[in-house]
Amino acid sequence: MLELKHIYKTFNAGTINEKRALIDVSLALEDGDFCTVIGGNGAGKSTIMNAIAGVWPVDSGSIIIDGQDVSGLSEHKRAVYLGRVFQDPMTGTAGDMQIDENMALADRRGKRRTLRWGVTSKERMEYKEKLKILDLGLEDRLTAKVGLLSGGQRQALTLLMATLQKPKILLLDEHTAALDPKTAEKVLSTTEKIVARDHLTTLMVTHNMRDAIAHGNRLIMMNEGQIILDIRGEKKKSLTVEDLLHQFEKVSGKEFSNDQAILG
In single-letter form, the type of residue at position 39 comes to: G
List strands edge to edge, sheet with 169-173. 82-85, 169-173, 201-205, 34-39, 218-223, 226-232
219 in helix, strand or coil?
strand
Work out which of 58, 82, 184, 244 binds other proteins, going by CB under 8 A.
82
Asked whether position 118 contacts other proteins by CB under 8 A, the answer is: yes
Closest listed residue to residue 137, CA positions, set 153, 125, 124, 158: 153
Choose between 160 and 244: whose C-beta lies nearer to other proteins.
160
How many C-beta atoms lie closer than 10 Å to residue 62's C-beta?
14
- Over the window 194 to 213, marking each residue x when it contacts other proteins by CB under 8 A and - when it does not, the resulting string is --------------------
Asked whether position 254 contacts other proteins by CB under 8 A, the answer is: no
- Rounded to a whole number of angstroms, the minimum distance from the CB of residue 22 to other proteins is 20
Question: Quick check: 79 and 104 in contact, CB under 8 A?
Answer: no
- Rounded to a whole number of angstroms, the minimum distance from the CB of residue 106 to other proteins is 5
Asked whether position 117 contacts other proteins by CB under 8 A, the answer is: yes
- Residues that contact other proteins, how many (by CB under 8 A): 32
Phi, psi of 160, rounded to the nearest 5 degrees: -65, -40
Cα distance between residue 78 and residue 160, in whole Å: 19
Please state whether beta strands 34-39 and 201-205 pair in parallel, antiparallel, or not at all (unpaired): parallel
Choose between 114 and 238: whose C-beta lies nearer to other proteins.
114
- Over the window 29 to 58, marking each residue x when it contacts other proteins by CB under 8 A and - when it does not, the resulting string is ------------------------x-----
Residues near other proteins (CB under 8 A) are 53, 75-77, 79-80, 82, 84, 86, 90-97, 101, 104-106, 108-110, 113-119, 161
